[in-house]
């Protein structure tokens, strides 16, 4: 791992504020279907025993999962887990059985949710792929195997409420995977590409902290300790877009998060520096592809549909 990447990963992991909750722990038998989709929250699925398939839709084929694998969905998206590659109509949501005794046709899962808070959380969600998969056989992630053993041991205790240690250990799995993804540079450009340049990391922190400030290119160049011309050239080299376009995308991404969290359109616009709702609506549609009001209603309906 490059020294600057290592430094950024340490910053990300140490600054990451998240609430982890375990939704259910147990085993499914026979024909079943499980999902954490539709709640406008990040989620995870840990395969503690057995195997299953992850179905994502959108033309993607089913993804086989086995014991010791973990799936992290950093952004809510339609998906389901089933015991077979081609689930039949009898694969429907069913109650979980206890972890013990282990059934021959059982698949044991621990599933739950992440709620990211703060700048590091926004940085993670917007710069990493929405789907992260940790494979039990990954040689570079051997350190995760003991964590899985601990999670399985906690699940096997069979207490009425899921052990809080499962949530904490799951966070450690996520941290290991974050470091591995960064080391392999299997991350989108944008935020990470800019933060990966040491001279731009302080600027990115300021932009994330003050998205509503009236930023000029001169302001950005000053924080990066560069001349305006040099800053513009190096920034475009890093991000693939001019500073103003990058700032627009960042602002709309942050505004979308506030809309999902319940802010009004006017309040979300103010948080990212827009006093005119009309101007904000045009900018939001340009970047996100939807009107802000429609975007918020769709996310609310998806969340309420699961209650």
Position 299 confidence tier, pLDDT thresholds 50, 70, 90: confident
CA 229 to CA 221: how far, in whole Å?
9
pLDDT at 7: 65
pLDDT (tens digit per residue) in 35-63: 999 888 999 999 999 999 999 976 677 99
Position 8 confidence tier, pLDDT thresholds 50, 70, 90: low
pLDDT (tens digit per residue) in 251-263: 988 888 788 778 9
pLDDT (tens digit per residue) in 279-296: 999 999 998 888 999 988
pLDDT at 182: 74
Helix H or strand E encompassing 268: helix 265-271
pLDDT of 122 above 90: no
pLDDT at 16: 79
CA 75 to CA 17: how far, in whole Å?
16
Average pLDDT, stretch 138-158?
87
Helix H or strand E encompassing 249: helix 243-260
Angle at 127 between CA 3 and CA 195, to 5 degrees: 40
Average pLDDT, stretch 239-249?
90
**Which of the residue ranges 7-11, 72-76, 144-148, 256-260 would you say has the lowest mean pLDDT?**
7-11
Phi/psi at 210 (nearest 5 deg)?
-130, 60
Position 305 confidence tier, pLDDT thresholds 50, 70, 90: very low
Position 306 confidence tier, pLDDT thresholds 50, 70, 90: very low
Of residues 253, 246, 292, the one with CA closest to residue 272: 253
pLDDT of 270 above 60: yes
pLDDT of 112 above 80: yes
> Between 81 and 137, whose confidence is greater?
81
Angle at 267 between CA 273 and CA 269, to 5 degrees: 35
Check: CB of residue 296 under 8 Å from CB of residue 260. Answer: yes
29 C-beta neighbours (distance < 10 Å), count: 16
E strand map for the chain: 17-28, 42-49, 51-55, 63-66, 70-73, 80-82, 107-117, 131-134
Check: CB of residue 252 under 8 Å from CB of residue 292. Answer: no
pLDDT (tens digit per residue) in 178-223: 888 777 655 545 666 777 677 887 888 888 889 999 999 999 999 9
SS3 250: helix
Of residues 93, 82, 21, 89, the one with CA closest to residue 50: 82
pLDDT at 2: 56
CA 209 to CA 264: how far, in whole Å?
20
- Per DSSP, the residues of 175-240 read HHHHHHHHHTT-S-SHHHHHHTSTTTHHHHHHHHH-TTS---HHHHHHHTTS-HHHHHHHHHHHHS
Check: CB of residue 176 under 8 Å from CB of residue 143. Answer: yes
pLDDT at 269: 96
Residue with tokens 């996100």: 288
Order of strands across the sheet that contains 107-117: 17-28, 107-117, 42-49, 70-73, 131-134
pLDDT of 304 above 60: no
Mode of pairing for the β-strands spanning 107-117 and 17-28:
antiparallel
Position 307 confidence tier, pLDDT thresholds 50, 70, 90: very low
pLDDT at 181: 78
The pTM of the whole model exceeds 0.75: no
């Amino acid at each position: 791992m490059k020294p600057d990447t290592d430094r950024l990963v340490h910053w990300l992991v140490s600054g990451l504020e998240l609430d982890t909750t375990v939704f259910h722990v147990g085993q499914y038998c026979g024909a079943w279907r499980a999902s954490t989709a539709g709640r406008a929250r990040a989620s995870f699925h840990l395969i503690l025993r057995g195997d299953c398939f992850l179905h994502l839709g959108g033309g993607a084929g089913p993804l086989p999962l086995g014991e010791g694998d973990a799936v992290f969905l950093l952004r809510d998206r339609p998906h389901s887990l089933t015991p077979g590659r081609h689930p039949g109509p009898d694969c429907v949501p069913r109650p979980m059985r206890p972890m013990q005794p282990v059934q021959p046709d059982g698949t044991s899962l621990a599933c739950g949710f992440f709620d990211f808070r703060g700048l590091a959380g926004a940085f993670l969600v917007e710069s990493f792929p929405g789907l992260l998969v940790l494979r039990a056989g990954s040689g570079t992630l051997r350190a995760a195997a003991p964590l899985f053993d601990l999670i399985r041991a906690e699940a096997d205790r069979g207490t009425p409420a899921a052990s809080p240690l499962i949530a904490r250990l799951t966070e450690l799995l996520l941290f290991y995977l974050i470091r591995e993804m960064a080391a392999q540079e299997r991350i989108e450009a944008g935020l990470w590409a800019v933060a990966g340049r040491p001279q731009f990391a302080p600027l990115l922190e300021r932009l994330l902290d003050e998205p509503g400030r009236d930023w000029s290119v001169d302001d950005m160049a000053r924080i990066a300790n560069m001349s305006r011309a040099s800053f513009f050239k190096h920034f475009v080299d890093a991000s693939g877009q001019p500073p103003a376009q990058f700032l627009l995308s960042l602002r709309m991404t942050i505004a979308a998060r506030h809309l999902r969290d319940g802010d009004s359109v006017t309040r979300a616009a103010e948080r990212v520096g827009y006093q005119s709702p009309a101007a904000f609506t045009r900018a939001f549609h340009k970047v996100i592809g939807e009107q802000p009001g429609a975007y918020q209603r769709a996310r609310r309906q998806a969340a309420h549909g699961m209650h």
